[in-house]
Amino acid sequence: MLISLEWLKEYVEINEDVKELENALTMIGQEVEAIEEQGQHLDNVVVGHIVEYGQHPDADKLSLLKVNVGEETPLQIICGAPNHKLGDKVIVAKIGAVLPGNFKIKKAKVRGVESCGMLCSEVELGMGTDGDGIVILSEDAPIGEDIRTHLGLDDVIFELEITPNRPDCLSHIGIAREVAAYYERKVKYPASDIRTLTGPSGIVVDIDDDKRCTRYSSRILKNVKVEESPEWLKRRLKAIGLRPINNIVDITNYIMFEYNQPMHAFDHSKLEGSKITVREAEKGEKITTLDGEERELNNSELVIADEAKAVAIAGIMGGKNTEVDENTTEILLEVAYFTPENIRKTAKTLGLSSDSSYRFERGIDRDNTLVVLERASSLIQSITNCEVVGEYADVYTDPYTPREVSMDINRLNKFVGKEIELDTVGKILNSLNMQIKNRGENKISVIPPSYRNDITRSADLYEEIIRMYGFENIEDKMPVENIKAGVVDEEFQTTDTSKKHLRDMGLQEVINYSFIPRGILEKLKVEAETIDIKNPINEDMVTLRPTLMYGLLTNIRDNFNRNINDLKIFEVSRTFTKAETLADEVVKVGIALAGREERNLWDAKPEAYDFYDLKGYVESYLTAMGMTKYQLRRTENKSYHPGRAVDIFVGREYIGTFGEIHPDVAEAMSISRERVYLAELELAKVVKYGKTKIKYEKIVKYPAVNRDLAILMDRDKLVGDMLGDIKKSSNIIEGVNLFDIYTGDKVEADKKSIAINIVLRKTTGTLEENEVTAAIDKILGLIKKKYQGEIRQ
């Protein structure tokens, strides 16, 4: 938001220098991003008079001029602009001038002819946007006068960062209120002096959609003369970056930046009938807006319409069909209130934004429309000497109701950290145009003005008081508190510990979105009660994930597509399933292996990952988490390859699954290069069965006895179950390890040979041969009875 200091001084007395005012604005929350002092780059730029006009001898498009700048000898200047003639008063940058952009004016030769200066356009002077031709001054401009003096370019422009909750500060009067409150001064509101005609308003207003438009005020002005705006008005608009158009449009823009009230002027003669309707657009209705674009509406927009057509998109932009032009003699002024939600939605839908929509989106003062209507009518009449119809139309369907906000002074002081007297509080609130009612000892009710929609609770009042009291007036004081060390959240701690263990194992962490595409679970063969998002960002983020599988497989696929072939990744994140209230959130640990491990050995070929690589990582992780007692069972999970994946159980409680992904799932995810191995475990259950305390045991000094057995058994028997039973068969068995499985021509087709190593040891003494023999005999009996296995001969 650009604020002109010259303009601001019309509403509040300001004697402070620029630096002091900058500090004051920043301290009260209106942060100054930049300051531009107009005219600071216009040394040696003066008013000139073209006294001779000729053609450059070697260039048809260049003119050769003699320009009187108040010196003994006129300056010879070559100019390429098309819009000057003999006798014009112009702006001349003399030799030595340094224009904006560090453009230095020097004596130069243009096609062999000397030029001793330059005639300037608005763009070259940094005072406007018109660069098509040079600036032509009025005939009475004094020759040789400094251009800053002549044009009044002694203004200072502040660029302010206005927060979204303070739309009232998107105007000069809004900032004047802030400055006046800070310096304890009065705001000088502009007077409206109108000569009116007697008679009816000549217009009927019907608000058909009173949910999105709660007030519409309008008035007719007759015998209007549309022409160029006076210099003071053009200078004000240019100062804040606006291009002057004509006196009527310029005044509506001036009012918007004066009062923060967008308004619009219609050519009354182009309106059909005497009725204005605020209604919803018809499906497929078209309107050409002032920017020249034809726009098709879809029934959700709010429009202003006469008795035959839409003439404006409410709160955003007027229509070309009622545009004010040089032939306009009668206008209809509109000042209205449109709800922020409607304007925001319409602007986004149409991709159309304007200064008006920017303000309506943030909220304006709906109780101020008649004040603005009077002000605009007064300005137009003073400039054009038009006639103003005395009566106006004003439909107010939902009048503003002042609200009361309660505040406890003791709570304020506790919040601020300093005792602020009640009188000081009252003085600050009154300076901000807030009314105060006493509600008992140290308790008050505050009634904010209608333009302060952001004041809704006591905390908002605290902010107002602090910023006007001054942060610098609140002493630094350390709080006196009994500070105790906090306790780390248990879930955070276990999650962080899990990640550390997985990273230490050489896995790389990935982080995926919690959203997955609609219908992807069918491709993954996952059955779960899912939760869909009502307003998804896009079609790839529709459903909350019940599994980490989609994200991990996507990571694998995308890396394969980029020729990265050694993938060892993990993710520890939340998953979501539908519950009676909201969702069941479960933190899961996902591990994925794919591709071929790169070796650093000389001439070693990469080997593809297999099930046992993943099994090693899973078991290492479980061991690190203190979980050592669990069972592996062949899984029936349809997402995994049958026979190449297992479930992890502790007793009857399911912990997770790991193994090779089903080929159909891999194909559905466009992964065909290598097999993918994936594990997914529930972290809470891992923690539940993990030992958090480490128990140390003495090293057993007695020797171990090793026995190797080759067992012949049916192919469909599960070796893992047999190994578990062997381990539990005797208390002197320290370990059971599988080291070979053989199937081939040396054994029957439906058989397999299992080679296992059994480690036996006593902690209380050396094993005797008869103890070892008894233990082995018991193992062989178990194998024969339960698994129909026998020693391979």
Tell me the binding residues for Mg(2+).
Answer: 454, 460, 463-464
| β strands within 401-442, DSSP E | 405-408, 435-438
Looking at the fold, whether 548 and 606 belong to one and the same domain comes out as yes
Q: Does 3 reside within a domain?
A: no
C-alpha 482: how far from its chain's center?
A: 39
- Confidence bin at 170 (pLDDT 50/70/90): very high
Looking at the fold, whether 111 and 244 belong to one and the same domain comes out as no
Higher-confidence position of 754 and 101: 754
Tell me the binding residues.
Answer: 454, 460, 463-464
Looking at the fold, whether 350 and 205 belong to one and the same domain comes out as yes
pLDDT tens for each residue of 701-753: 899 999 999 999 998 888 888 988 899 899 999 999 989 988 888 888 889 99
Residues in contact with 19: Cβ distance below 8 Å, sequence separation at least 6, in sequence order: none
Does pLDDT of 246 surpass 70?
yes
pLDDT at position 601: 58
Q: Which long-range contacts (CB under 8 A, 24 or more apart) does 48-52 make?
A: 48/75, 48/89, 48/90, 48/91, 48/92, 48/119, 48/143, 48/144, 49/87, 49/88, 49/89, 49/90, 49/143, 50/84, 50/85, 50/86, 50/87, 50/88, 50/90, 51/86, 52/86
Does pLDDT of 27 surpass 80?
yes
Q: Report helix, strand or coil for 445.
A: strand
CATH of the domain at 442: 3.30.56.10
According to DSSP H, which parts of 599-698 are helical? Answer: 611-624, 663-668, 683-689
Looking at the fold, whether 382 and 419 belong to one and the same domain comes out as no
pLDDT tens for each residue of 324-374: 999 999 999 999 999 999 999 999 999 999 999 999 999 999 999 999 999
Q: Does 158 reside within a domain?
A: no
Single out the residue in 689, 719, 742 at which a domain terminates.
Answer: 689
Q: What percent of the chain is predicted at pLDDT more than 70?
A: 99
Looking at the fold, whether 641 and 782 belong to one and the same domain comes out as no
pLDDT tens for each residue of 571-581: 999 999 998 87
5 in the Ramachandran plot: left (φ > 0), alpha (ψ -120 to 50) or beta? Answer: alpha
Does pLDDT of 639 surpass 80?
yes
Distance CA 770, CA 407 (A): 90
Question: Would you state the torsion angle of the CA atoms of residues 222, 228, 233, 237, taken in this order, to the nearest 10 degrees?
Answer: 110
Domain holding 213, by residue range, is 196-396
Supply the Cα-derived Rg of the chain in whole angstroms. 42
pLDDT at position 602: 60
Looking at the fold, whether 651 and 733 belong to one and the same domain comes out as no
Residue with tokens 């962080």: 496
Single out the residue in 377, 396, 415 at which a domain terminates.
Answer: 396
CATH of the domain at 684: 3.30.930.10
Mean pLDDT over residues 161-181, rounded? 95
Q: Does 201 reside within a domain?
A: yes
- Confidence bin at 604 (pLDDT 50/70/90): low
Q: Which long-range contacts (CB under 8 A, 24 or more apart) does 476-481 make?
A: 477/417, 479/417
- Number of structural domains in the chain: 5
User: No. of H helices and E strands in the chain?
Assistant: 21, 44
pLDDT at position 697: 76
The answer to whether 69 and 75 have CB atoms below 8 angstroms apart is yes
CATH of the domain at 759: 3.30.70.380
